[in-house]
Structure 1
Amino acid sequence: RKTEICREDDGSLAPFDRINAAQVVVANETLYINRKDGFAGYGLKKDESIEKCSNLDDIIVFGKDGVMKVMKIAEKMFVGKSPLRVNVFRRDEDKVYNMVYRDGKSGRLYAKKFKVGGVTREKEYPLFKTHSKSRIFFFAVHDSDKKNSRILVHLDPELKRVKEMVIEFDFAWLDLQGRGAKGSTLTAHKVDRVVNAPREIGEEASEPASSKEEDKKPSSSEKKLSSVKVPPKDINTKEDQAKKETPEKPGSKGPKSQTTFEF
């Protein structure tokens, strides 16, 4: 009797009984979400639709508290009220996330660019240290690390003796990090809001998470700042760092993951 065979991803042959059912199942369901009540699933047909799925998929949830979790999809499940992002989790995708958050303990604003990496289903993964005053100001996703968000950081208008009240930042200046990295300091000043910078001609839009702050239209002052295309002098771009082949000297400021951008 001949054994039925198929080819795996690496081209090798394997029996059909070794095929993962999730690899051949048809996406004949739709993932829905009720953001107000915090529920998602393929059974909530009267609520907001997200994307096609199957009943064998996993979903990934990013909560507004900075906690990430991968869950088995169901007809209805609780994902937390007003989540930043809920989508089908595909392990073979190379998604890159751009995030700006405030550290509740220090009050500093951090930026980080990361990938999800390996995960265990139903386990919670905090993206930063839990604190009552911690807050996510910006969150966006891209299909690869070649695409990056450009943002405008608006400082609190009540601040005194601060010359630059709006900071323009490009995530292309950051190296890709793990999800648990602290990130790089943007400012120690109090921040009012963070928004997408106006797009330049031919530039693709980022895919931000749902947020009232990110839906605001840029003011005339923001449009003027869009012409600034280079990082401040104190920042070493990735191209500059690649040219330096000398080892780091003792007493240096530490790894790039903790670099502070001085604006």
Structure 2
Amino acid sequence: TRYAIAYFEGLLKKYGASRERKTQLRTFDVVTAQKVAVANQKLYVNYQDGFVGYGLKKDEKAVEVTSCSDLDDIIAIRRDGTFMVTRIAEKTFMGKDILLAGVYNKNDDRLVYNMVYLDGASGISFAKRFLVSGITRDKVYDLTKGTKGTKVLYLTANPNSETELVAVQLSDKAPARVKQFDFDFAELAIKGKGSMGNIVTKQQIKKITQKSVGDSTLGGREVFFDSVVARLNHAGHGRYLGAFDTDDTILVVYKDGSYELNAPDLNKRFDLANIVLLRKLEAETVLSAVYVDGESKTYYIKRFKIETSTFGKRFLFISESKGSKLLAATAFAEPAVEVTL
């Protein structure tokens, strides 16, 4: 043992100069099997024939819908108002006439479905907002009354419980004098998957189209930034950034004098070593910066509002001259700096 230690100490003394560590020591967050396999597959859906899986790339009728892992569960809702959750596979038959399919997370209590369906027995159209929880894999559930001739007329999945305003157009044969009106899903309470829903109309519906997406009815979701693992989270780890609603944005300012806008994506790992500022972007946010121009060696102070809206693209806000450097940046309402000559 002494010989081995002395040998490596000799190597370090002889060859170690100017060969400092180039890798970084970083604490890793808790790794689960599903997170490790997050992006290794693509989920495809053949809506017409009813097949779902990651092995349908060569199926001409299949459409890529999202990224997934081979450990995920998937959900498929059909036109007749029934749905099923199953373990993802290369190719799985989940019933013909699929309207919506995606990855299913049993712990997601924010994903809300907005739906309008026609009851086959009465001819009445109902609207409902619902969560999907407490399910058994490979069991068929019914989201409607289950009567013959029932069909779903409108269906969306809303990851942060967003509401919608839709335009309902009645059939030309409908006796109603007004044949088009708006329906606001915000007027409905979020209930379980087995709820019947509220009456939209007793007339025959020709078409339903989305007019606008509203805010989350469950309120903004609290987001935290954990600097240890450089990720966002909802679990309360790290610095509190605020409650994020549908259109809210993360502002990141980098040491090179650029800024970037991001959605509050929990899977994104931020480049913490090169970040000066990370916070929620508010409508009144003003960014203040001090930088030196590389060509003239002049020091400048600037204050500005973020006017771009593109996600994932950096925008330089200091001089492009070689050698220019950002010295300080803040989003405080009344910032102050101390200058030492």
Match of 1:36 in 2: 48
Task: Identify, as 1 or 2, the structure richer in strand.
Answer: 2
Size of the alignment, in residue pairs?
Answer: 185
What is the root-mean-square deviation of aligned Cα atoms in Å?
Answer: 2.4
Mapped to 1, the partners of 2:37 and 2:182 lie a distance apart of 45
Match of 1:116 in 2: 132
Alignment of 1:187-202 (within 5 A): 187-197=201-211, 199=212
Aligned residue for 2:186, secondary structure, equals helix
Query: Is the radius of gyration larger for structure 1 or structure 2?
Result: 2
Check whether the contact 2:50–2:94 (CA below 8 A) recurs between aligned residues: yes
Offset, 1:21: 3.1
CA displacement 1:184-205 (0-9 Å, x = unmatched): 01111222222222x4xxx679
Aligned residue for 1:148, secondary structure, equals strand
Check whether the contact 1:108–1:188 (CA below 8 A) recurs between aligned residues: yes
Check whether the contact 1:154–1:193 (CA below 8 A) recurs between aligned residues: yes
Aligned residue for 2:194, secondary structure, equals coil
Mapped to 2, the partners of 1:25 and 1:172 lie a distance apart of 36
Mapped to 2, the partners of 1:7 and 1:196 lie a distance apart of 40
The one-letter code of the counterpart of 1:167 is F
Question: Is residue 156 of structure 2 the alignment partner of residue 144 of structure 1?
Answer: no
Mapped to 1, the partners of 2:36 and 2:155 lie a distance apart of 32
Task: Extract unaligned runs of 5+ from structure 1.
Answer: 1-5, 9-18, 206-263
CA displacement 1:67-105 (0-9 Å, x = unmatched): 111101111111222301111112233211100011111
Match of 1:90 in 2: 105
Check whether the contact 2:44–2:64 (CA below 8 A) recurs between aligned residues: yes
Q: TM-score, normalised by structure 2?
A: 0.50
The one-letter code of the counterpart of 1:174 is L
The one-letter code of the counterpart of 1:144 is N
Alignment of 1:232-243 (within 5 A): none
CA displacement 1:147-199 (0-9 Å, x = unmatched): 21111111221233x232112111001111111000001111222222222x4
Q: TM-score, normalised by structure 1?
A: 0.64
Task: Extract unaligned runs of 5+ from structure 2.
Answer: 1-27, 216-341
- Percent of aligned pairs sharing the same letter: 37
Question: Is residue 23 of structure 2 the alignment partner of residue 22 of structure 1?
Answer: no
Mapped to 1, the partners of 2:207 and 2:144 lie a distance apart of 19
The one-letter code of the counterpart of 2:44 is Y
Offset, 1:140: 0.9
Offset, 1:34: 2.2
Check whether the contact 1:98–1:141 (CA below 8 A) recurs between aligned residues: yes
Offset, 1:111: 0.5
- Out of 98, 107, 131, which is 2:147 matched to? 131
Mapped to 1, the partners of 2:149 and 2:83 lie a distance apart of 18
Check whether the contact 1:140–1:149 (CA below 8 A) recurs between aligned residues: no
Check whether the contact 1:34–1:40 (CA below 8 A) recurs between aligned residues: yes
Question: Is residue 82 of structure 2 the alignment partner of residue 70 of structure 1?
Answer: no
Check whether the contact 2:165–2:214 (CA below 8 A) recurs between aligned residues: no
Check whether the contact 2:73–2:85 (CA below 8 A) recurs between aligned residues: yes
Match of 2:190 in 1: 176
Higher relative contact order (CA 8 A, sep 6+): 1
